[in-house]
Structure 1
Amino acid sequence: MTVGVPLGRDLSLTIVGREDTRSVQLSCSPVYGTHPRAADACAALYPAQGDPARVRPSWMGCPRIYDPVTASATGMWDGQYIQYRRTFSNECDMHAATGPVFDF
């Protein structure tokens, strides 16, 4: 590896709900892809080293409605393989836990 050459920071993100499936591509070095809030998602992922499970959660008052969604991320971040999958009780809970990462 050559010093100064950035390793990839590329993720495929998917949300599966009861009635739909949404997917985007996100690259954070440089920031681009099909994610509508790519810069915000990358900003949340940088301190988490690309792992959505390590994104700092925000406090949100979410309704106690059961409408499950499964969020998943796969890809590479600085040479490390990222594989994340978690089912949340609803989209609000997902956004509270992952911030802008799955906001698409």
Structure 2
Amino acid sequence: MKTADPRSRPRVVQLRCDPAYGSHPRAAAACAALIPAQGDPARVRARQEFCTRQYDPVRATATGVWNRRPIRYTQTFVNPCMMRNETGPVFYF
């Protein structure tokens, strides 16, 4: 969700892993990133790309269950590029 725009609506997808499916457009890649992170988006190690310093804040939120353990994640990033750098394909939709 873009936080600087009051008209912004959250984009919501569903993701299930093992096997990867749901409404997430990159379900297999997102699951591949979450498996070594034990389902925690904060532990994902994504590839770094060059990002501009443009201020266009976005908030990423994930709630769910991973191996019977509840997951709650919320983080605000300076822009979408920085979000992808931190979370890889998990929030790339």
TM-score exceeds 0.5: yes
User: CA RMSD for the aligned pairs?
Assistant: 0.8
Taking the aligned partners of 1:103 and 1:37, their CA distance within structure 2 comes to 8
Q: Does 1:71 align with 2:60?
A: yes
Taking the aligned partners of 2:30 and 2:61, their CA distance within structure 1 comes to 14
Taking the aligned partners of 1:80 and 1:26, their CA distance within structure 2 comes to 16
Shift of 1:60: 1.2
State the percentage of identical aligned residues: 58
Give the gaps of 5 or more residues in structure 1. Answer: 1-15
Name the SS of the counterpart of 1:21 in structure 2: coil
Which is richer in strand?
Answer: 1
Name the SS of the counterpart of 2:75 in structure 1: strand
Name the SS of the counterpart of 2:52 in structure 1: coil
Give the gaps of 5 or more residues in structure 2. Answer: none
Taking the aligned partners of 2:27 and 2:89, their CA distance within structure 1 comes to 8
Name the SS of the counterpart of 1:61 in structure 2: coil
Q: Does 1:90 align with 2:60?
A: no
Aligned to 1:45: 34
**Normalised by the size of structure 1, how large is the TM-score?**
0.82
Larger Rg over CA atoms: 1
Residue type of the alignment partner of 1:83 = R
Q: Does 1:25 align with 2:20?
A: no
